[in-house]
């Protein structure tokens, strides 16, 4: 696209801050006659005085009298006139040559420039930024609390150049400013004298509900050392749902290639589906490309991706083994049995790592029934003892050949298990055809095995079968069905999640939350946090295990907080395993500060943890040294202590409180500040429903949440689940209007051809949309799934 056209298009934006920022780009551009005419039309429709002034200034450059602008001698006269030609003055100030600068600055001082109009002040401040002196500092500082954001930001820029130290006294009002761009700039300024508190402010902006605030934080993210914001950015990218914002954040990663990042991004990618999976995949590949191009690694991106993917699989398996190996030591017989069976399942799928653990367990286990069941399962994949004599190998082979001609249910259970084990993507269709008809007659353990096959190699064809399993009362079968559906057809599971998340079995709850995270990770993580507050250690254990399934960046802070409160030794060990498996410098620093700050009663536990973390970090990156890591951690600790006493005035919590109170009193000027309230990006109704159900006692009947503005905000390129009545149909455009009475909103939804027949007016609708925009108060979107 023609860059000038692109900029002109942005001049039609309803947001004045966008229009204003575009002008500064157009200012220096050469424009053709046609473009000037178009620009003039845009000026005619512009209502905001400050922007009009800037547009006139741009046009004045092309006026025939442009050459006759005042020169050095005429400037004194111009400054003296109260009804001066401000455009000429602004243009002159922006073109002053160094030789004349001192004299012009003196003239400005004499004229009392501080009293100039708000539209002229940015030009004066821009001039003083270049040619000002210490005598201008007080006047410039005085404008750092101006109510026009254009004047204010020009004053901040000038003061930053003339006397950056003076900005310190303005930090609180700047952090409180209604304009998010100015607030994020204030955070950057704060970083100079209190980096850790500045990062807390940055974090709060990045994870704000306001799109404006997130945009500003992302823009300024380039001005922080990437190492300092790396983990925040990773967490951001894994919970953000707006594709445009994810792309912007992606640029920060790609521009700052780091060898530790790709694995983290891979984890984030694996925790997503659909468009977000693709977006993170693109960023991951971009980072690998940058690493290669920057000469930081020698491996080609594709080659590195292969290595990372196998590393990721190994890590998942390791965590799984660690989790269940802890269960082998439990005092509860059922937990020991379940844990052993889980590990045997891995062995039966060809992962040999847990075999030694199981052999040791079998030697030490005192409960003979457990030993017998584990041995039986390990050998045959069956839980119940065999009641039929073992087949001779030759006879077994003959039997296998005859499988096709025999009803599946009549085959001996042991043979059936062998068939399940041998099913792969190639023979799946053929083998499943003979199994499906008999599925309901199979014992539960075999149904679980079949669901495992579907999860491994299946297709959406078996969706109905899996959905039927969700009606079961058996926790293992339910979990297996959820796991299989989450891989094969997560959309089909989506509408059932509210009920599953409040299930009485913790395992089912955890499995459902893991799937919910594919659709709305932010809320899923909040649900797990709720489970971590349970008084039952087992429920907390399940929550911790669930956290291990999320990408580490999203949950590292939650795990560290959980460790602070966790009293159960087995759970502590579980958290240890996860933290050690994901050892990175940020975690090490935080644990080190916790251990050494003197505020924790668990210093010994934290010391043990950070020692382990250091060992892991060094093992993964030989360039790191123990001495270097400890020196950096010590520095961090000192900085924390130093800042504790200084930060009271600009402390994040204090600033947030003041802003909340002032927002209650007055709404910001919508003409200058665009506050987009993005409450829940994905599935607002579903999210609210899940919240309600999860928080409610299991016996209470599900209720729809009350509609409210908090969940009603829309955001472009996000997904949303809606429920309503079809109020209009345009067959030629395949557009359907849906009135969502709970949300009191109307959606105009495009139904792609593949979705088949359109619903009729009056029909109920329940489905997931991708929001594409808003026209005349109607939200527009594209149908993703109809439930």
Partner 1 sequence: MSNFTITTANINGVFIIRPCGYVDEHGGAAIFATVQKALPEGHQKFILNLAASPVINSQGIAQIIELAEIIVDEKNGELAFTGLSELAGGVFKMVGLLQMGDAYPSEQQAIEALGG
Contact yes or no for 283/276 (Cβ under 8 A): no
CB 516 to partner 1: min, Å? 33
For tokens 């178009």, name the residue: 38
Contact (CB, 8 A) for 218 and 245: yes
The encoded tokens of residue 429 equal: 């269709």
Nearer to partner 1, 98 or 363 (CB): 98
Give the largest CA-CA distance in the chain: 113
CB of 39 to partner 1, least distance (A): 17
Q: How far is the CB of 226 from partner 1 (least distance, A)?
A: 5
Buried b or exposed e, range 88-122, using 16+ CB within 10 angstroms:
bbbbbbeebeeebeeebbebbbebebbebebbbbb
Query: Which residue number, 14 or 295, has a Cβ lying nearer to partner 1?
Result: 295
On the CB side of 358, how many CA atoms lie within 13 Å of its CA? 28
Q: What is the DSSP letter of 390?
A: P
779 closest CA partner among 688, 729, 717: 717
In 349-436, which ranges are continuous DSSP H helix?
Answer: 355-364, 368-380, 393-401, 413-422, 428-436
- The least CB distance from residue 294 to partner 1, in Å, is 4
Residues 164 and 777: their CA atoms lie apart, in Å, by 45
Which residues sit opposite 485 in a β-bridge? none
User: Residue 488 Cβ, how far from partner 1 at the closest point, in Å?
Assistant: 36
**CA–CA gap between residue 736 and residue 759 (Å, rounded):** 8
Strands 745-750 and 778-786: parallel
CB of 108 to partner 1, least distance (A): 17
Q: What distance in Å separates the CA atoms of residue 739 and residue 723, rounded to the nearest whole number?
A: 8
Phi-psi region of 112 (alpha: psi -120 to 50; beta: other; left: phi over 0): left
Residue whose CB is less far from partner 1, 294 or 649: 294
Q: Which two tokens stand for residue 361?
A: 């367990």
Q: Minimum CB separation from partner 1 for residue 75, in Å?
A: 17
Minimum distance from residue 251 beta carbon to partner 1 (Å): 5
Nearer to partner 1, 66 or 604 (CB): 66
Task: Decide whether 24 or 625 has the Cβ nearer to partner 1.
Answer: 24
- Shortest Å, Cβ 623 to partner 1: 9
Q: How far is the CB of 167 from partner 1 (least distance, A)?
A: 17
Kindly give, in sequence order, each residue whose CB lies less than 8 Å from that of residue 107, ignoring residues fewer than 6 positions away.
Answer: 75, 76, 79
Structure tokens at 347: 């062995």
Nearer to partner 1, 250 or 381 (CB): 250
For partner 1, which is the closer residue by CB, 295 or 393? Answer: 295
Q: Which is nearer to partner 1, 8 or 324 (CB)?
A: 8
Is 747 exposed, middle or buried, given 0-12, 13-18 or 19+ CB atoms closer than 10 A?
buried
- Tell me 717's DSSP state: T
Asked if 247 and 275 count as a contact pair (C-beta separation under 8 A), the reply is: no
Distance, in Å, from the CA atom of 338 to the CA atom of 323, rounded to the nearest integer, reads: 12
Report the residue number, 139 or 252, with the smaller CB distance to partner 1: 252
User: Which residue number, 13 or 581, has a Cβ lying nearer to partner 1?
Assistant: 13
Closest contact distance (angstroms) between CB of 199 and partner 1 is 14
Q: Is the Cβ of residue 3 or residue 728 nearer to partner 1 in the bound state?
A: 3
The least CB distance from residue 255 to partner 1, in Å, is 5
Nearer to partner 1, 628 or 670 (CB): 628
Q: What number of CA atoms fall less than 13 Å from residue 186's CA on the CB side? A: 28
Nearer to partner 1, 232 or 711 (CB): 232
Q: Are strands 778-786 and 764-775 parallel, antiparallel or unpaired?
A: antiparallel
Residues near partner 1, by CB under 8 A: 24-25, 28, 97-98, 129-130, 219, 221-226, 248, 251-252, 254-257, 286, 290, 293-296
CB 533 to partner 1: min, Å = 38
Residue with the two structure tokens 């954001």 = 149
State in angstroms the smallest separation of the CB of 330 from partner 1.
Answer: 48
Distance CA 627, CA 633 (A): 10
Cα–Cα separations (whole angstroms), residue 1 to 7, 26, 431 = 10, 16, 54
Q: How far is CA 223 from CA 212, 229, 252, 341, 586, in A?
A: 18, 10, 10, 52, 19
CB of 125 to partner 1, least distance (A): 12
Q: Identify which of residues 58 and 595 has a Cβ nearer to partner 1 in the complex.
A: 58
Nearer to partner 1, 18 or 786 (CB): 18
Distance from C-alpha of 157 to C-alpha of 4, rounded to nearest angstrom: 27
């Amino acid at each position: 696209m023609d860059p000038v056209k692109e900029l002109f298009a942005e001049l039609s934006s309803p947001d004045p801050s966008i229009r204003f920022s575009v002008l500064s780009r157009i200012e220096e551009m050469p424009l053709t006659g046609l473009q000037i005419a178009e620009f003039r039309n845009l000026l005619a429709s512009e209502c905001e005085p400050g922007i009009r002034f800037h547009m006139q200034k741009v046009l004045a450059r092309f006026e025939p009298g442009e050459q006759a602008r005042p020169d050095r001698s005429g400037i004194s006269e111009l400054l003296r006139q109260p009804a001066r030609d401000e455009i000429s003055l602004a243009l002159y100030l922006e073109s002053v040559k160094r030789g004349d600068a001192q004299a012009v600055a003196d003239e400005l001082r004499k004229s009392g420039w501080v009293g100039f109009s708000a539209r002229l002040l940015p030009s004066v401040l821009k001039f003083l930024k270049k040619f000002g002196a210490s005598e201008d500092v007080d006047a410039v500082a005085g404008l750092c609390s101006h109510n026009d954001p254009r004047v204010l930001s020009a004053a901040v820029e000038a003061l930053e150049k003339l006397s950056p130290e003076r900005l310190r006294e303005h930090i609180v009002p700047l952090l409180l400013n209604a304009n998010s761009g100015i607030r994020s700039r204030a955070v950057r300024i704060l970083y100079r004298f209190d980096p850790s508190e500045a990062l807390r402010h940055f974090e709060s902006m990045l994870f704000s509900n306001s799109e404006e605030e997130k945009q500003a934080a992302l823009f300024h993210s380039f001005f922080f050392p990437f190492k300092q914001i790396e983990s925040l950015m990773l967490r951001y990218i894994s919970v953000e749902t707006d594709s445009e914002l994810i792309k912007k954040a992606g640029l920060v990663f790609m521009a700052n290639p780091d060898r530790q990042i790709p694995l983290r991004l891979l984890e984030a990618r694996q925790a997503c589906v659909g468009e977000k999976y693709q977006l993170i995949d693109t960023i991951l590949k971009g980072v690998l490309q940058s690493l290669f191009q920057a000469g930081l690694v020698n491996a080609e991106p594709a080659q590195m991706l292969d290595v990372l993917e196998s590393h990721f699989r190994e890590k998942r398996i390791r965590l799984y083994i660690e989790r269940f190996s802890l269960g082998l030591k439990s005092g509860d017989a059922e937990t020991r049995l379940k844990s052993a069976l889980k590990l045997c399942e891995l062995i039966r799928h060809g992962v040999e790592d847990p075999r030694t653990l199981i052999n040791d367990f079998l030697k030490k286990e005192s409960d003979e029934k457990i030993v017998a069941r584990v041995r039986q399962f390990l050998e045959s994949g069956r839980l119940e003892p065999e009641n039929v004599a073992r087949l001779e190998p030759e006879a077994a082979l003959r039997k296998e050949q005859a499988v096709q001609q025999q009803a599946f249910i009549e085959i001996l259970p042991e043979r059936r298990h062998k068939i399940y084990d041998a099913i792969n993507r190639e023979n799946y269709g053929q083998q499943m055809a003979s199994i499906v008809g008999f599925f309901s007659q199979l014992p539960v353990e075999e149904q679980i095995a079949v669901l495992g096959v579907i999860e491994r190699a299946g297709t959406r064809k078996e969706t109905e079968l899996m959905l039927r399993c969700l009606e079961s009362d058996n926790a293992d079968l339910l979990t297996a069905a959820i796991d299989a559906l989450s891989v094969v057809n997560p959309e089909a599971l989506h509408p059932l999640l509210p009920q599953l998340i409040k299930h009485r079995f913790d395992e089912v709850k955890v499995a459902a939350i893991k799937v919910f995270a594919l659709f709305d990770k932010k809320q899923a993580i909040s649900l797990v946090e709720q489970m971590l507050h349970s008084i039952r250690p087992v429920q907390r254990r399940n929550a911790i295990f669930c956290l291990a399934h999320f990408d580490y960046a999203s949950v590292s802070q939650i795990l560290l907080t959980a460790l602070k409160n966790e009293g159960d030794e087995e759970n502590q060990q579980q958290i240890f395993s996860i933290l050690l498996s994901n050892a990175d410098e940020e975690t090490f620093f935080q644990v080190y500060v916790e251990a050494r700050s003197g505020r924790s009663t668990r210093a010994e536990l934290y010391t043990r943890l950070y020692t382990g973390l250091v060992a892991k970090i060094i093992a993964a990156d030989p360039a790191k040294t123990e001495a270097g890591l400890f020196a950096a951690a010590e520095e961090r600790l000192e900085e924390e202590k130093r800042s504790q006493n200084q930060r009271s005035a600009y402390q994040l919590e204090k600033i947030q409180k003041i802003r909340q109170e002032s927002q209650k009193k007055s709404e910001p000027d919508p003409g200058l500040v665009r506050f987009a309230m993005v409450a829940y990006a994905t599935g607002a109704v579903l999210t609210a429903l899940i919240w309600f159900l999860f928080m409610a006692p299991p016996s209470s009947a599900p209720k729809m949440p009350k509609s409210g503005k908090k969940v009603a905000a829309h955001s472009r390129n996000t997904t949303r689940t809606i429920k309503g009545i079809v109020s209009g149909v345009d067959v030629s455009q395949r557009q359907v209007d849906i009135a969502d009475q709970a949300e009191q909103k109307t959606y105009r939804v495009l139904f792609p051809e593949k979705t088949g027949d359109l619903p009729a007016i009056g029909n109920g609708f329940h489905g997931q949309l991708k929001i594409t925009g808003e026209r005349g108060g109607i939200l527009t979107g594209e149908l993703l799934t109809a439930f």
